[in-house]
Structure 1
Amino acid sequence: MPTAIIADDERLMRDQLRMRLEQVWPELEILGEAKNGEEAVELVNELKPDFTFLDIRMPGKTGMEAAAEIGNKSNVVFVTAYDAYAVEAFERGAVDYVLKPPEPERLKVTVERLKGRLSSPAASAAQGADMAAILSQLAEKIATPKQKYLQWIQASIGSDLRMIPVEEILFFRSDEKYTCVQTDKFEALIRKPVRDLADELDPSLFWQIHRATLVNVNAIEGVTRDIRGRHLVMIKGRPDKLEVSRSFLHLFKQM
Protein backbone atom coordinates (compact mmCIF):
# COMPACT_ATOMS: atom_id res chain seq x y z
CA MET A 1 0.00 0.00 0.00
CA PRO A 2 1.22 3.55 -0.74
CA THR A 3 1.97 5.62 2.36
CA ALA A 4 2.06 9.30 3.23
CA ILE A 5 2.36 11.89 5.99
CA ILE A 6 0.62 15.27 6.20
CA ALA A 7 2.31 18.44 7.50
CA ASP A 8 0.26 21.57 8.17
CA ASP A 9 0.20 23.90 11.17
CA GLU A 10 -3.63 24.06 11.03
CA ARG A 11 -5.34 21.01 12.51
CA LEU A 12 -8.52 21.59 10.50
CA MET A 13 -6.57 21.61 7.25
CA ARG A 14 -4.83 18.34 8.17
CA ASP A 15 -8.18 16.75 8.98
CA GLN A 16 -9.74 18.00 5.77
CA LEU A 17 -6.88 16.80 3.58
CA ARG A 18 -6.89 13.40 5.28
CA MET A 19 -10.65 13.08 4.71
CA ARG A 20 -10.40 14.07 1.03
CA LEU A 21 -7.51 11.69 0.41
CA GLU A 22 -9.52 8.85 1.94
CA GLN A 23 -12.32 9.66 -0.50
CA VAL A 24 -10.26 9.81 -3.69
CA TRP A 25 -7.43 7.40 -2.78
CA PRO A 26 -8.67 4.89 -0.18
CA GLU A 27 -5.58 2.70 -0.69
CA LEU A 28 -3.29 5.46 0.62
CA GLU A 29 -2.24 4.91 4.23
CA ILE A 30 -1.60 8.09 6.27
CA LEU A 31 1.22 7.15 8.64
CA GLY A 32 1.36 10.37 10.64
CA GLU A 33 0.86 14.13 10.86
CA ALA A 34 3.19 17.04 11.59
CA LYS A 35 2.52 20.60 12.74
CA ASN A 36 5.63 22.14 11.18
CA GLY A 37 8.53 21.50 8.82
CA GLU A 38 10.86 20.19 11.50
CA GLU A 39 8.37 17.52 12.60
CA ALA A 40 7.80 16.62 8.96
CA VAL A 41 11.50 15.94 8.39
CA GLU A 42 11.62 13.80 11.54
CA LEU A 43 8.60 11.77 10.41
CA VAL A 44 10.08 11.22 6.96
CA ASN A 45 13.30 9.91 8.48
CA GLU A 46 11.38 7.69 10.88
CA LEU A 47 8.48 6.40 8.77
CA LYS A 48 9.90 6.67 5.23
CA PRO A 49 6.56 7.48 3.55
CA ASP A 50 6.14 7.35 -0.20
CA PHE A 51 4.62 10.87 -0.16
CA THR A 52 4.90 13.91 2.08
CA PHE A 53 2.15 16.52 1.87
CA LEU A 54 3.78 19.80 2.95
CA ASP A 55 2.04 23.09 3.61
CA ILE A 56 4.15 25.88 2.07
CA ARG A 57 3.84 28.29 5.00
CA MET A 58 4.39 26.89 8.49
CA PRO A 59 5.95 28.41 11.61
CA GLY A 60 9.62 27.67 12.20
CA LYS A 61 10.82 25.51 9.33
CA THR A 62 8.65 26.19 6.27
CA GLY A 63 7.45 23.59 3.81
CA MET A 64 10.05 24.62 1.25
CA GLU A 65 12.85 24.39 3.82
CA ALA A 66 11.61 20.97 4.88
CA ALA A 67 11.45 19.84 1.25
CA ALA A 68 15.09 20.80 0.79
CA GLU A 69 16.04 18.50 3.66
CA ILE A 70 13.77 15.67 2.57
CA GLY A 71 15.26 15.60 -0.93
CA ASN A 72 14.69 12.17 -2.50
CA LYS A 73 13.68 10.43 0.74
CA SER A 74 10.01 10.97 -0.11
CA ASN A 75 7.92 12.39 -2.94
CA VAL A 76 7.04 15.94 -1.88
CA VAL A 77 3.55 17.27 -2.55
CA PHE A 78 3.13 20.97 -1.71
CA VAL A 79 -0.16 22.12 -0.18
CA THR A 80 -0.81 25.73 -1.13
CA ALA A 81 -3.42 28.46 -1.13
CA TYR A 82 -1.65 30.39 -3.89
CA ASP A 83 -3.43 31.72 -6.94
CA ALA A 84 -3.23 30.61 -10.58
CA TYR A 85 0.07 32.41 -11.16
CA ALA A 86 1.75 30.37 -8.44
CA VAL A 87 0.12 27.17 -9.65
CA GLU A 88 1.70 27.80 -13.04
CA ALA A 89 5.07 28.00 -11.29
CA PHE A 90 4.44 24.65 -9.64
CA GLU A 91 3.52 23.04 -12.94
CA ARG A 92 6.57 24.43 -14.72
CA GLY A 93 8.72 23.15 -11.87
CA ALA A 94 7.30 19.64 -12.32
CA VAL A 95 6.25 19.65 -8.66
CA ASP A 96 3.12 17.96 -7.34
CA TYR A 97 0.74 20.20 -5.43
CA VAL A 98 -2.66 20.34 -3.74
CA LEU A 99 -4.70 23.53 -3.62
CA LYS A 100 -6.37 24.72 -0.42
CA PRO A 101 -9.12 23.91 0.26
CA PRO A 102 -8.62 20.38 -1.18
CA GLU A 103 -11.64 19.81 -3.43
CA PRO A 104 -12.24 16.20 -4.56
CA GLU A 105 -12.17 16.92 -8.31
CA ARG A 106 -8.89 18.83 -8.13
CA LEU A 107 -7.39 16.30 -5.76
CA LYS A 108 -8.17 13.46 -8.17
CA VAL A 109 -5.91 15.07 -10.77
CA THR A 110 -3.03 15.23 -8.27
CA VAL A 111 -3.63 11.66 -7.12
CA GLU A 112 -3.36 10.38 -10.68
CA ARG A 113 -0.01 12.12 -11.01
CA LEU A 114 1.16 10.62 -7.72
CA LYS A 115 0.14 7.14 -8.80
CA GLY A 116 2.21 7.68 -11.91
CA ARG A 117 5.24 8.43 -9.74
CA LEU A 118 4.77 5.13 -7.91
CA SER A 119 4.80 3.29 -11.21
CA SER A 120 7.82 5.27 -12.43
CA PRO A 121 10.63 5.28 -9.85
CA ALA A 122 12.85 7.14 -12.30
CA ALA A 123 10.52 10.15 -12.23
CA SER A 124 10.58 10.19 -8.43
CA ALA A 125 14.36 9.93 -8.36
CA ALA A 126 14.63 12.79 -10.85
CA GLN A 127 12.45 15.02 -8.69
CA GLY A 128 14.59 14.27 -5.66
CA ALA A 129 17.82 14.96 -7.50
CA ASP A 130 16.50 18.25 -8.90
CA MET A 131 14.81 19.39 -5.66
CA ALA A 132 17.29 22.20 -4.94
CA ALA A 133 16.86 23.66 -8.43
CA ILE A 134 13.07 23.25 -8.28
CA LEU A 135 12.85 24.99 -4.90
CA SER A 136 15.00 27.87 -6.11
CA GLN A 137 12.73 28.34 -9.10
CA LEU A 138 9.58 28.16 -6.97
CA ALA A 139 10.91 30.60 -4.38
CA GLU A 140 11.48 33.15 -7.15
CA LYS A 141 8.05 32.62 -8.69
CA ILE A 142 5.94 32.70 -5.53
CA ALA A 143 7.93 35.27 -3.57
CA THR A 144 5.83 37.90 -1.83
CA PRO A 145 5.60 40.95 -4.11
CA LYS A 146 7.55 43.96 -2.89
CA GLN A 147 5.41 46.56 -1.22
CA LYS A 148 4.67 49.61 -3.32
CA TYR A 149 5.55 52.79 -1.44
CA LEU A 150 4.32 56.31 -2.04
CA GLN A 151 6.17 58.14 -4.81
CA TRP A 152 4.29 61.44 -4.58
CA ILE A 153 2.60 63.46 -1.86
CA GLN A 154 -0.39 65.65 -2.74
CA ALA A 155 -0.21 68.70 -0.44
CA SER A 156 -1.81 72.12 -0.07
CA ILE A 157 0.17 75.33 -0.50
CA GLY A 158 -2.27 78.14 0.17
CA SER A 159 -5.17 77.55 -2.19
CA ASP A 160 -3.12 75.38 -4.55
CA LEU A 161 -2.51 71.63 -4.62
CA ARG A 162 1.03 70.47 -5.35
CA MET A 163 2.29 66.98 -6.28
CA ILE A 164 5.61 66.62 -4.44
CA PRO A 165 8.05 63.77 -5.23
CA VAL A 166 8.85 62.08 -1.92
CA GLU A 167 12.62 62.26 -2.51
CA GLU A 168 12.35 66.07 -2.43
CA ILE A 169 10.77 66.07 1.02
CA LEU A 170 13.18 66.75 3.89
CA PHE A 171 10.85 65.79 6.72
CA PHE A 172 7.24 65.43 7.88
CA ARG A 173 6.16 66.87 11.24
CA SER A 174 2.66 66.57 12.67
CA ASP A 175 0.65 68.70 15.07
CA GLU A 176 -2.87 67.98 16.30
CA LYS A 177 -4.66 68.67 12.99
CA TYR A 178 -2.13 68.79 10.14
CA THR A 179 1.20 67.38 9.02
CA CYS A 180 3.81 69.79 7.73
CA VAL A 181 5.61 68.66 4.57
CA GLN A 182 8.97 70.43 4.41
CA THR A 183 11.03 70.61 1.23
CA ASP A 184 14.15 72.64 0.55
CA LYS A 185 12.06 75.35 -1.15
CA PHE A 186 8.67 75.43 0.55
CA GLU A 187 6.38 74.12 3.29
CA ALA A 188 3.04 72.46 2.58
CA LEU A 189 0.27 70.88 4.66
CA ILE A 190 -1.53 67.53 4.51
CA ARG A 191 -4.12 65.94 6.80
CA LYS A 192 -2.53 62.48 6.91
CA PRO A 193 -0.84 61.77 10.29
CA VAL A 194 2.75 60.57 10.60
CA ARG A 195 1.64 57.15 11.89
CA ASP A 196 -0.08 56.48 8.53
CA LEU A 197 2.75 57.93 6.45
CA ALA A 198 5.23 55.68 8.26
CA ASP A 199 3.45 52.63 6.79
CA GLU A 200 3.24 54.07 3.27
CA LEU A 201 6.77 55.45 2.80
CA ASP A 202 9.89 53.43 2.05
CA PRO A 203 11.53 52.81 5.48
CA SER A 204 14.97 52.83 3.86
CA LEU A 205 14.33 56.45 2.76
CA PHE A 206 12.29 57.84 5.65
CA TRP A 207 13.05 57.16 9.30
CA GLN A 208 10.51 57.80 12.01
CA ILE A 209 12.46 59.55 14.78
CA HIS A 210 9.51 60.66 16.90
CA ARG A 211 5.82 59.79 17.06
CA ALA A 212 5.19 63.05 15.18
CA THR A 213 8.25 63.19 12.90
CA LEU A 214 9.57 61.41 9.81
CA VAL A 215 12.88 62.49 8.29
CA ASN A 216 14.45 61.82 4.89
CA VAL A 217 17.69 59.89 5.56
CA ASN A 218 19.45 61.79 2.77
CA ALA A 219 18.60 65.11 4.45
CA ILE A 220 20.29 64.25 7.77
CA GLU A 221 23.46 66.23 8.39
CA GLY A 222 24.13 64.79 11.83
CA VAL A 223 22.87 64.36 15.38
CA THR A 224 23.62 66.64 18.31
CA ARG A 225 22.57 67.05 21.93
CA ASP A 226 21.12 70.12 23.59
CA ILE A 227 21.76 71.25 27.18
CA ARG A 228 18.84 69.10 28.36
CA GLY A 229 20.44 66.00 26.90
CA ARG A 230 17.92 65.57 24.10
CA HIS A 231 19.16 64.14 20.79
CA LEU A 232 18.40 66.42 17.84
CA VAL A 233 18.69 65.67 14.13
CA MET A 234 20.28 68.46 12.08
CA ILE A 235 18.95 68.99 8.55
CA LYS A 236 21.35 69.83 5.70
CA GLY A 237 21.24 73.51 4.74
CA ARG A 238 18.50 74.35 7.24
CA PRO A 239 18.31 75.60 10.83
CA ASP A 240 15.70 72.95 11.78
CA LYS A 241 16.59 70.58 14.60
CA LEU A 242 14.23 67.60 15.00
CA GLU A 243 13.96 65.86 18.35
CA VAL A 244 14.65 62.11 18.45
CA SER A 245 12.56 60.04 20.86
CA ARG A 246 14.48 57.63 23.06
CA SER A 247 12.76 54.66 21.42
CA PHE A 248 14.22 55.67 18.02
CA LEU A 249 17.81 56.36 19.08
CA HIS A 250 18.91 52.93 17.85
CA LEU A 251 18.61 54.24 14.27
CA PHE A 252 21.65 56.43 14.82
CA LYS A 253 24.00 53.94 16.45
CA GLN A 254 25.62 53.35 13.04
CA MET A 255 26.29 57.08 12.55
Structure 2
Amino acid sequence: MREKLTTIAFDADDTLWHTERFFRLTQAHFAALLRDFTEPDHLEARLLEAERRNISHYGYGIKGFVLSMIETAIEVTDEKVPASVIAELMAAGREMLNHPIELLPHATEAVETLASTHKILLITKGDLIDQERKLAQSGLGDVFDWVEIVSHKTSDIYRTVFAQHGDGPERAMMVGDSMRSDIVPAIAVGSWAAHVPQSNVWELERAEAPSHSSRFHSLESLQMLPDLVKTIG
Protein backbone atom coordinates (compact mmCIF):
# COMPACT_ATOMS: atom_id res chain seq x y z
CA MET A 1 0.00 0.00 0.00
CA ARG A 2 1.33 3.45 -0.89
CA GLU A 3 1.82 5.99 1.87
CA LYS A 4 -1.01 8.40 2.53
CA LEU A 5 1.47 11.25 2.79
CA THR A 6 4.07 11.36 0.03
CA THR A 7 5.12 15.01 -0.27
CA ILE A 8 6.43 17.45 2.36
CA ALA A 9 6.77 21.14 1.47
CA PHE A 10 8.67 23.63 3.60
CA ASP A 11 8.43 27.37 3.84
CA ALA A 12 11.84 29.08 4.02
CA ASP A 13 11.88 32.38 5.95
CA ASP A 14 11.42 31.85 9.70
CA THR A 15 10.75 28.16 9.13
CA LEU A 16 14.20 27.01 8.03
CA TRP A 17 16.20 30.17 8.78
CA HIS A 18 15.82 33.41 10.72
CA THR A 19 14.37 36.40 8.87
CA GLU A 20 11.83 38.41 10.87
CA ARG A 21 14.26 39.31 13.63
CA PHE A 22 16.45 41.15 11.11
CA PHE A 23 13.41 43.12 9.96
CA ARG A 24 12.70 43.98 13.61
CA LEU A 25 16.28 45.21 14.17
CA THR A 26 16.13 47.37 11.05
CA GLN A 27 12.74 48.74 12.10
CA ALA A 28 14.20 49.70 15.50
CA HIS A 29 16.98 51.57 13.67
CA PHE A 30 14.30 53.24 11.52
CA ALA A 31 12.51 54.44 14.67
CA ALA A 32 15.76 55.82 16.08
CA LEU A 33 16.47 57.75 12.89
CA LEU A 34 13.02 59.39 13.03
CA ARG A 35 12.70 59.87 16.79
CA ASP A 36 12.75 63.66 16.38
CA PHE A 37 9.70 63.53 14.09
CA THR A 38 7.26 61.03 15.59
CA GLU A 39 6.70 58.51 18.38
CA PRO A 40 7.81 54.88 17.74
CA ASP A 41 4.28 53.44 18.12
CA HIS A 42 2.86 55.91 15.61
CA LEU A 43 5.73 55.23 13.22
CA GLU A 44 5.20 51.48 13.46
CA ALA A 45 1.51 51.85 12.62
CA ARG A 46 2.27 54.12 9.66
CA LEU A 47 4.90 51.71 8.36
CA LEU A 48 2.49 48.79 8.60
CA GLU A 49 -0.09 50.78 6.63
CA ALA A 50 2.50 51.47 3.94
CA GLU A 51 3.54 47.81 3.76
CA ARG A 52 -0.07 46.72 3.42
CA ARG A 53 -0.62 49.22 0.58
CA ASN A 54 2.58 48.31 -1.20
CA ILE A 55 2.51 44.52 -1.21
CA SER A 56 0.59 44.44 -4.48
CA HIS A 57 3.21 46.75 -6.03
CA TYR A 58 6.49 45.59 -4.52
CA GLY A 59 5.69 42.10 -3.28
CA TYR A 60 7.20 40.57 -0.15
CA GLY A 61 10.79 40.91 0.93
CA ILE A 62 13.51 43.34 1.89
CA LYS A 63 13.29 45.64 -1.12
CA GLY A 64 9.59 46.32 -0.59
CA PHE A 65 10.25 46.83 3.13
CA VAL A 66 12.91 49.46 2.44
CA LEU A 67 10.71 51.29 -0.05
CA SER A 68 7.89 51.30 2.50
CA MET A 69 10.23 52.73 5.15
CA ILE A 70 11.31 55.50 2.79
CA GLU A 71 7.70 56.28 1.88
CA THR A 72 6.74 56.38 5.57
CA ALA A 73 9.67 58.63 6.41
CA ILE A 74 8.58 61.10 3.74
CA GLU A 75 4.99 61.06 5.01
CA VAL A 76 5.63 61.46 8.74
CA THR A 77 8.13 64.30 8.20
CA ASP A 78 5.87 66.17 5.76
CA GLU A 79 8.53 65.63 3.09
CA LYS A 80 11.27 67.10 5.28
CA VAL A 81 13.19 63.89 5.91
CA PRO A 82 16.94 64.53 5.49
CA ALA A 83 18.69 62.86 2.58
CA SER A 84 21.10 61.35 5.10
CA VAL A 85 18.22 59.39 6.67
CA ILE A 86 17.16 58.05 3.26
CA ALA A 87 20.77 57.03 2.64
CA GLU A 88 20.90 55.19 5.97
CA LEU A 89 17.68 53.32 5.21
CA MET A 90 19.05 52.22 1.86
CA ALA A 91 22.28 51.11 3.52
CA ALA A 92 20.27 49.14 6.09
CA GLY A 93 18.46 47.38 3.25
CA ARG A 94 21.73 46.44 1.58
CA GLU A 95 23.02 45.10 4.88
CA MET A 96 19.93 42.92 5.23
CA LEU A 97 20.37 41.61 1.70
CA ASN A 98 23.98 40.69 2.46
CA HIS A 99 23.41 39.24 5.91
CA PRO A 100 24.47 35.58 6.24
CA ILE A 101 21.57 33.27 6.96
CA GLU A 102 21.21 31.53 10.32
CA LEU A 103 19.44 28.20 10.20
CA LEU A 104 16.81 27.54 12.82
CA PRO A 105 17.33 24.65 15.27
CA HIS A 106 16.67 21.19 13.79
CA ALA A 107 16.05 22.58 10.28
CA THR A 108 18.78 20.55 8.59
CA GLU A 109 17.94 17.35 10.46
CA ALA A 110 14.22 17.60 9.71
CA VAL A 111 14.67 18.24 5.99
CA GLU A 112 17.33 15.58 5.51
CA THR A 113 15.46 12.96 7.54
CA LEU A 114 12.23 13.40 5.60
CA ALA A 115 14.08 13.52 2.26
CA SER A 116 14.96 9.87 2.75
CA THR A 117 11.31 8.82 2.75
CA HIS A 118 9.29 11.56 1.01
CA LYS A 119 9.41 13.98 -1.86
CA ILE A 120 10.64 17.28 -0.45
CA LEU A 121 9.65 20.69 -1.84
CA LEU A 122 10.47 24.28 -0.91
CA ILE A 123 7.62 26.76 -1.43
CA THR A 124 8.59 30.27 -0.46
CA LYS A 125 7.65 33.80 -1.39
CA GLY A 126 9.65 36.97 -1.79
CA ASP A 127 12.35 38.42 -3.98
CA LEU A 128 13.73 35.79 -6.38
CA ILE A 129 17.39 36.83 -6.15
CA ASP A 130 17.35 37.12 -2.36
CA GLN A 131 15.60 33.79 -1.85
CA GLU A 132 17.98 32.02 -4.21
CA ARG A 133 20.93 33.54 -2.30
CA LYS A 134 19.61 32.34 1.03
CA LEU A 135 18.86 28.87 -0.28
CA ALA A 136 22.39 28.57 -1.67
CA GLN A 137 23.89 29.67 1.65
CA SER A 138 21.71 27.27 3.61
CA GLY A 139 23.41 24.18 2.24
CA LEU A 140 19.98 22.60 1.74
CA GLY A 141 19.47 23.39 -1.93
CA ASP A 142 20.40 19.92 -3.18
CA VAL A 143 18.03 18.22 -0.73
CA PHE A 144 14.85 19.58 -2.31
CA ASP A 145 13.21 17.81 -5.23
CA TRP A 146 11.67 21.10 -6.35
CA VAL A 147 11.92 24.77 -5.37
CA GLU A 148 9.03 27.16 -6.03
CA ILE A 149 9.54 30.90 -5.37
CA VAL A 150 6.27 32.80 -5.71
CA SER A 151 5.04 36.36 -5.20
CA HIS A 152 2.08 35.26 -3.03
CA LYS A 153 1.01 32.00 -1.41
CA THR A 154 -2.56 31.08 -2.23
CA SER A 155 -4.67 27.95 -2.30
CA ASP A 156 -4.33 27.87 -6.09
CA ILE A 157 -0.53 27.91 -5.76
CA TYR A 158 -0.56 24.95 -3.38
CA ARG A 159 -3.04 23.04 -5.51
CA THR A 160 -0.92 23.52 -8.63
CA VAL A 161 2.48 22.81 -7.07
CA PHE A 162 1.30 19.71 -5.21
CA ALA A 163 -0.33 18.39 -8.40
CA GLN A 164 2.69 19.06 -10.61
CA HIS A 165 5.45 18.00 -8.21
CA GLY A 166 3.69 15.59 -5.88
CA ASP A 167 0.70 13.28 -5.77
CA GLY A 168 -1.87 16.03 -5.29
CA PRO A 169 -2.72 18.26 -2.33
CA GLU A 170 -4.49 15.50 -0.40
CA ARG A 171 -1.19 13.62 -0.07
CA ALA A 172 0.96 16.62 0.76
CA MET A 173 1.89 18.55 3.88
CA MET A 174 2.90 22.21 4.13
CA VAL A 175 5.27 23.14 6.97
CA GLY A 176 5.66 26.77 7.95
CA ASP A 177 5.53 29.53 10.53
CA SER A 178 2.91 31.76 8.89
CA MET A 179 -0.69 30.93 9.66
CA ARG A 180 -1.93 33.16 6.84
CA SER A 181 0.46 32.09 4.08
CA ASP A 182 1.55 28.55 4.94
CA ILE A 183 -1.25 26.95 6.92
CA VAL A 184 -4.69 28.30 6.06
CA PRO A 185 -4.43 28.07 2.22
CA ALA A 186 -2.89 24.58 2.41
CA ILE A 187 -5.68 23.30 4.64
CA ALA A 188 -8.20 24.88 2.24
CA VAL A 189 -7.09 22.59 -0.61
CA GLY A 190 -7.14 19.43 1.53
CA SER A 191 -3.48 19.19 2.49
CA TRP A 192 -2.00 18.52 5.89
CA ALA A 193 -0.33 21.53 7.52
CA ALA A 194 2.21 21.74 10.33
CA HIS A 195 2.50 25.13 12.00
CA VAL A 196 5.86 25.82 13.64
CA PRO A 197 5.33 29.24 15.27
CA GLN A 198 8.11 31.73 15.96
CA SER A 199 8.23 34.42 18.64
CA ASN A 200 8.36 37.24 16.09
CA VAL A 201 5.31 37.35 13.81
CA TRP A 202 4.71 40.03 11.20
CA GLU A 203 1.22 41.47 11.64
CA LEU A 204 0.32 40.84 8.01
CA GLU A 205 0.96 37.10 8.46
CA ARG A 206 -1.48 36.60 11.33
CA ALA A 207 -4.69 34.59 10.84
CA GLU A 208 -7.00 32.35 12.82
CA ALA A 209 -5.79 28.77 13.14
CA PRO A 210 -7.91 26.22 11.23
CA SER A 211 -8.42 24.23 14.42
CA HIS A 212 -11.53 22.59 12.99
CA SER A 213 -9.43 20.56 10.57
CA SER A 214 -8.00 17.19 11.59
CA ARG A 215 -5.17 17.85 9.13
CA PHE A 216 -3.91 20.87 11.08
CA HIS A 217 -1.08 20.34 13.57
CA SER A 218 0.96 22.72 15.70
CA LEU A 219 4.54 21.83 16.63
CA GLU A 220 6.91 23.40 19.13
CA SER A 221 9.86 22.90 16.78
CA LEU A 222 10.96 21.15 13.61
CA GLN A 223 12.44 18.42 15.79
CA MET A 224 8.90 17.06 16.22
CA LEU A 225 8.13 16.96 12.48
CA PRO A 226 9.53 13.51 11.53
CA ASP A 227 7.51 11.82 14.30
CA LEU A 228 4.35 13.63 13.18
CA VAL A 229 4.89 12.46 9.62
CA LYS A 230 5.33 8.88 10.84
CA THR A 231 2.01 8.97 12.68
CA ILE A 232 0.22 10.11 9.54
CA GLY A 233 1.76 7.33 7.47
Q: Is TM > 0.5 for Structure 1 vs Structure 2?
A: no
Which protein has the larger Cα radius of gyration, Structure 1 or Structure 2? 1
Q: Name whichever structure is richer in helix by fraction.
A: 2
Normalising by structure 2, report the TM-score: 0.30
